[in-house]
A and B are shown apart, each in its own frame.
Chain A
Amino acid sequence: MSTTLLSRPSNESKPAEKKRSKLGFRLSILTCVFLFFAILLRGIATLPLDTSSLTPFQNWLNSVSDWIGNNRTSNPIFTFFINIIRDSINSFVTGIQYVISQPIGNNSAPLIGWFGIVVLLSFVAYAVANIRIAILVASGLVALGLLGFWQESMDTLALTLAAVVLALIVGIPLGICAGLFPRFEKLITPLLDFAQVMPTFVYLTPVTLFFLIGPASATIVTLVYALPPALRITAVALHEVPWSSVEAAISMGSTRMQALRKVQLPQAKRTIVVGINQTIMAALSMVTIAALIDAPGLGKVVIRALESLDIGSSFQAGLGIVILAVVLDRTTTAAASKVDAEMTLAISHKRHRQILIAGGVLSFVAIIFSRIFTWAGNFPGTGFIGSDIAKYTDNATNWFQAHFVNYTDGITNAVSYGLINPLQSILTNSPWFVTGIAFVGLGIIFGGKKLGIISSVCVLGIVGTGLWSDTMATLASTLVAAILTVAIGIIFGVWIGRSKRADRIIRPILDAGQVLPAFVYLVPFLGLFGATRFTAILAAIVYAAPASIKLMADGIAGVPATITEAGIAAGSSKWQMIIKVQLPSARRALALSTNQGIIYVLAMVVVGGLVGAGGLGYLVVAGFAQISLTGKGLAAGLAIVLLGIMLDRITQAIAARSTLQGNK
């Protein structure tokens, strides 16, 4: 993309500007018409539904779930097929656990003790990446032991590995199919959206009905969420390979299969590794939720600490998850760029090979050690720094609460009365068809007739779930959270994009925000801001802003030097440079970061339901907790998916437009 940006002649921006002002005109007409009718017809056809009432559709969903529960043990489909899947996944996971985390039979340590694992994984990191990453892996793993959570971390790692391996076995071949056959990709995209946006709470109970309580259910729950990135990014990787190189191979006599194997896959390798990275991150973000159905590992510690609002202990375990995430993320990222380097350099050091052999021997010795000596088998001690970290966290939280609580009410009220309440009142009081038509209009303006149809299907679907009013309440909070997320994304994105040093300091914090289980910071937030929609919005920002910031920073850093140099030559000040040169050039990044911001915020709707945001999130939680509300929870999950798909498609269309404008 940067090359096309480079070649853009500067005087061609005028027609684009004209087009944009036409767009602005249409948008403002749409807004005015919407507001006019929303206020004129307020209170009519708002489709409210009591929290404890159910529509016929929701009752029907209830009966479906009952039917499954009653037939689970008698119906041959369940007892045969599903049991086979269940048993094989169970033995796969417990197999990995016996190797790295759980002792078998009369042993007190797993097959490979901690010392063996540290040396072996560091060696693997060295082999696939470099020595710096190997040191990071070693210190990260030792830190897990020092936190006092060696076994829990390894349980989490075992489950994550199992889910990731299964996601890759299924996802990469399907992703290749999707990359080769556009029709298949079109078919599968809505399913992937469904899997990614449908809140996990919705299918937690059905999954245990099908696959029973145990590692299989926990793995499948994780798999549902981790599979889409593996599949999607593999498809994207194949799309990125220039078609001309495939044609060249075929014209030289290769079959289509050979062209795939020899040309497309090798060139797509790097992006596929990025997909593996995203799959691992997605799997790790499920650790705490899977613990609600007895998934072993760090998630259990977090949930347990939450019972007594023990912020320190939950942070201690959350930190373990962050460390695992950083270790796995950095290793796979470095492996991806090494794949890149090897492609071009084709290294063949003899020394490198010798080191590899030596490392292998060393790992072997370490594994033997970990099976002979007690100190190398089970991590010694009960956590040297763990309890200190918990204590410091508690102290810091208390201090923070004692000093800031006087201001937090003001902030909560300002945002609630100034932003959330007016927006929510417009959206929930407007007739459904007025708001619905406004969505369809937005779709048509940005994406033409096709997007208009998608929007209307989504709108009608939401009405069909019987939860229009709750959806509008959720939409109001989602929009406020998204606006704040994008604002933060721009501010920090520009800062990080312009400064390497800021990047180095802030990026680990962003990583932590993305993988730290929300449960860890919810309790302090609740203490400061109460059980309010604002607390839910804050939690959503913590999770969503990192993605927004990263995308924005990449966009700013990707602005070609020639453009910025031209800006400097023209005598721009720092602020002129940011506002007039860098931000406009990074327009596509801005649109993308808005899109991702909204999707990530929607992923937190259910967490919001746990802290007082009400709306769809609460209904999902209630559906998980009460058998009579299961159908309503399912319906709420559906409404979130439909809302998500609609917002995603509209913002994607906006992003695609800005790319066009940027390039032409």
Chain B
Amino acid sequence: MELKTRRFRRGTALLLAVSAMTFAFPAALPAQAAAKCGTVNLADNAWVGYEADLAVVSYVLKNSLGCKVVVKNLSEEVSWQGFPTGQVDAILENWGHADLATKYITQQKAAVDLGSTGNNGIIGWYVVPWMVAKYPDITNWKNLNKYASLFKTSESGSQGAFLDGDPSYVTNDAAIVKNLKLNYKVIFTGSEAALITSYRAAQAQKKPAIGYFYEPQWFLAEVPLVHIKLPAWTQGCDADPKTVACDYPPYPLNKVASAKFMNSGSPAATVIKNFKWTNADQNSVAKSLAVGKMKDDAAAKIWVTAHPAIVKQWLGN
């Protein structure tokens, strides 16, 4: 026991000496200095389209303005939480979220709507393409009951299975199914991964699959799901979530930034405010990321080099 204690003491002393020397020793490795733009905190929401926006915007901020970009992997709601606390400066692709907008933009005045990203979001009902080839009239919602029995699975009982996805997205599907008197049961797949994998497997094995999906989305380049037209959306037709019997409204995707950041005079604020591109632009970068498995900067560089005029507009010169 005695001996052991002494040994431990000596060991501790040695460790202390090691750490003291480590701190005292000068670092030998130099690194690049930061420029005047300062630090920009960008939220990173977990879908590839967002990732494409983020890649290109960070690339421009870093290379044209010398900003230090800090990327924060956050879910959508948590990203908004970051506005009043100053931990998030901007969200680059926002899908709706009227409740969060009311809370943080209208009530707390902590955030500002920076307008469209140029991308138009479409939410709706989709079916795997092989079925459209075989049953061409399936794209009309009125014929869906005719085919309901094809979509039966172990999860849906006697009805057809309608696949719902990531709960972060607004869905009225259960109400739509009920109000249009469709013989389907909504199955909550629970995540985008589950939804995409279901469609991918269904297309590969020629099995039926119908459900919720959205554009722009990289997966549509792999399996071009076909949009089913529901009764057209009109202003207010989806006001009461219980009686919805119409399609989803168009979703112009927008950018949101913290009020503090916009007032800071940072050149990065201008770029984010001016950032605007098309669905085709985003899809090309998204494809480099998801299918080409490129790193963010590499994928961004290709697009930025090919579109100098657009980038110039963003920079405001």
A and B together in one complex? yes
Known pairs A51-B188, A69-B81, A364-B18; A303 contacts B46 (CB<8 A): yes
Q: CB < 8 Å: which of B47, B51, B82, B187 contacts A614?
A: B187
Encoded as 1 (CB less than 8 Å from any A CB) or 0, chain B from 1 to 29 comes to 10110010011001101100111010111
Determine if A522 and B193 form an interchain contact, defined as CB atoms under 8 angstroms apart. Answer: yes
Of listed A292, A310, A412, A625, residue having the most chain B CB within 10 A: A625
Residues of B contacting A212 with CB < 8 Å? 81-82, 85, 87
Determine if B174 and A293 form an interchain contact, defined as CB atoms under 8 angstroms apart. Answer: no
B residues 138-177 in Cβ contact with A at 8 Å: 153-155, 163, 166-168, 174-175
B307 contacts partner chain A, Cβ-Cβ < 8 Å: no
Known pairs A303-B73, A522-B193; A421 contacts B48 (CB<8 A): no
* Distance, CA A625 to CA B47, complexed state (A): 14
Encoded as 1 (CB less than 8 Å from any A CB) or 0, chain B from 73 to 88 comes to 1111110011011011
Encoded as 1 (CB less than 8 Å from any B CB) or 0, chain A from 238 to 276 comes to 000000000000000000000000000000000000000
Determine if B14 and A294 form an interchain contact, defined as CB atoms under 8 angstroms apart. Answer: no
Known pairs A50-B174, A610-B194; A213 contacts B189 (CB<8 A): no
Encoded as 1 (CB less than 8 Å from any B CB) or 0, chain A from 498 to 522 comes to 0000000000000000000001001
* Distance, CA A356 to CA B4, complexed state (A): 13
Closest to B205 in A: A405
Q: CB < 8 Å: which of B15, B73, B82, B99 contacts A360?
A: B15
Known pairs A293-B74, A371-B22, A417-B154; A627 contacts B99 (CB<8 A): yes
Determine if B18 and A374 form an interchain contact, defined as CB atoms under 8 angstroms apart. Answer: no
Determine if B85 and A73 form an interchain contact, defined as CB atoms under 8 angstroms apart. Answer: yes
Q: CB < 8 Å: which of A107, A360, A610 contacts B14?
A: A360
Determine if B187 and A372 form an interchain contact, defined as CB atoms under 8 angstroms apart. Answer: no
B250 contacts partner chain A, Cβ-Cβ < 8 Å: no
Closest to B22 in A: A367
Determine if B190 and A612 form an interchain contact, defined as CB atoms under 8 angstroms apart. Answer: yes
Determine if B77 and A627 form an interchain contact, defined as CB atoms under 8 angstroms apart. Answer: yes
Encoded as 1 (CB less than 8 Å from any A CB) or 0, chain B from 86 to 114 comes to 01100000000001100100000000000
* Distance, CA A614 to CA B17, complexed state (A): 57
Determine if B72 and A294 form an interchain contact, defined as CB atoms under 8 angstroms apart. Answer: yes
Q: Give the top 7 A-B pairs by smallest Cβ distance, nearest first.
A: A416-B154, A308-B290, A622-B167, A531-B189, A526-B197, A625-B168, A108-B29
Determine if A612 and B11 form an interchain contact, defined as CB atoms under 8 angstroms apart. Answer: no
Closest to A522 in B: B193
CB of B207, distance to nearest CB on chain A (Å): 8
Determine if B4 and A626 form an interchain contact, defined as CB atoms under 8 angstroms apart. Answer: no
Closest to B50 in A: A307
Known pairs A213-B74, A307-B47; A610 contacts B191 (CB<8 A): yes
Residues of A contacting B7 with CB < 8 Å? 353, 356
Of listed A51, A127, A346, residue having the most chain B CB within 10 A: A51
Known pairs A52-B241, A531-B189; A360 contacts B18 (CB<8 A): yes
8 additional contacts, CB 8 Å, given A526-B198, A527-B201, A625-B76? A52-B241, A73-B85, A212-B82, A293-B75, A294-B72, A405-B201, A624-B77, A626-B77
CB of A136, distance to nearest CB on chain B (Å): 21
Determine if A308 and B73 form an interchain contact, defined as CB atoms under 8 angstroms apart. Answer: no
Residues of A contacting B167 with CB < 8 Å? 618, 621-622, 625-626, 629
* Distance, CA A307 to CA B47, complexed state (A): 5
Determine if B78 and A205 form an interchain contact, defined as CB atoms under 8 angstroms apart. Answer: yes
Determine if A103 and B31 form an interchain contact, defined as CB atoms under 8 angstroms apart. Answer: yes
A sample of 14 cross-chain residue pairs with beta-carbon separation below 8 angstroms, ordered by A number, consists of A51-B186, A73-B85, A106-B30, A106-B33, A107-B30, A213-B81, A213-B85, A293-B78, A303-B73, A416-B155, A530-B153, A610-B190, A614-B190, A625-B167
* Distance, CA A330 to CA B181, complexed state (A): 59
Known pairs A303-B73, A531-B187, A628-B99; A309 contacts B196 (CB<8 A): yes
A636 contacts partner chain B, Cβ-Cβ < 8 Å: no
Closest to A50 in B: B174
A578 contacts partner chain B, Cβ-Cβ < 8 Å: no
Closest to B241 in A: A52
A residues 622-651 in Cβ contact with B at 8 Å: 622, 624-629
CB of B300, distance to nearest CB on chain A (Å): 15
Q: CB < 8 Å: which of B46, B74, B153, B190 contacts A618?
A: B190
B248 contacts partner chain A, Cβ-Cβ < 8 Å: no
* Distance, CA A204 to CA B201, complexed state (A): 32
Closest to B78 in A: A208
CB of A269, distance to nearest CB on chain B (Å): 13
Determine if B193 and A526 form an interchain contact, defined as CB atoms under 8 angstroms apart. Answer: yes
* Distance, CA A546 to CA B160, complexed state (A): 37
CB of A557, distance to nearest CB on chain B (Å): 32
* Distance, CA A374 to CA B30, complexed state (A): 10
Known pairs A213-B88, A609-B190; A371 contacts B72 (CB<8 A): no
Residues of A contacting B4 with CB < 8 Å? 342, 346, 348
B195 contacts partner chain A, Cβ-Cβ < 8 Å: yes
A residues 299-346 in Cβ contact with B at 8 Å: 300, 303-304, 306-310, 313, 342, 346
CB of B253, distance to nearest CB on chain A (Å): 17
Residues of A contacting B10 with CB < 8 Å? 357
Determine if A626 and B168 form an interchain contact, defined as CB atoms under 8 angstroms apart. Answer: yes
Residues of B contacting A373 with CB < 8 Å? 28
Residues of A contacting B74 with CB < 8 Å? 213, 292-294
Determine if A530 and B190 form an interchain contact, defined as CB atoms under 8 angstroms apart. Answer: no
Determine if A208 and B193 form an interchain contact, defined as CB atoms under 8 angstroms apart. Answer: no
CB of B97, distance to nearest CB on chain A (Å): 8
B225 contacts partner chain A, Cβ-Cβ < 8 Å: no
Of listed B18, B175, B293, residue having the most chain A CB within 10 A: B18
Residues of B contacting A378 with CB < 8 Å? 29
CB of B212, distance to nearest CB on chain A (Å): 12
A143 contacts partner chain B, Cβ-Cβ < 8 Å: no
Closest to B86 in A: A212
CB of B163, distance to nearest CB on chain A (Å): 7
Q: CB < 8 Å: which of B27, B154, B193 contacts A534?
A: B154
A298 contacts partner chain B, Cβ-Cβ < 8 Å: no
Q: CB < 8 Å: which of A356, A413, A627 contacts B154?
A: A413
B200 contacts partner chain A, Cβ-Cβ < 8 Å: yes
Of listed A292, A313, A531, A626, residue having the most chain B CB within 10 A: A531
CB of A476, distance to nearest CB on chain B (Å): 13
Known pairs A213-B87, A364-B18; A611 contacts B29 (CB<8 A): no
Determine if A621 and B31 form an interchain contact, defined as CB atoms under 8 angstroms apart. Answer: no
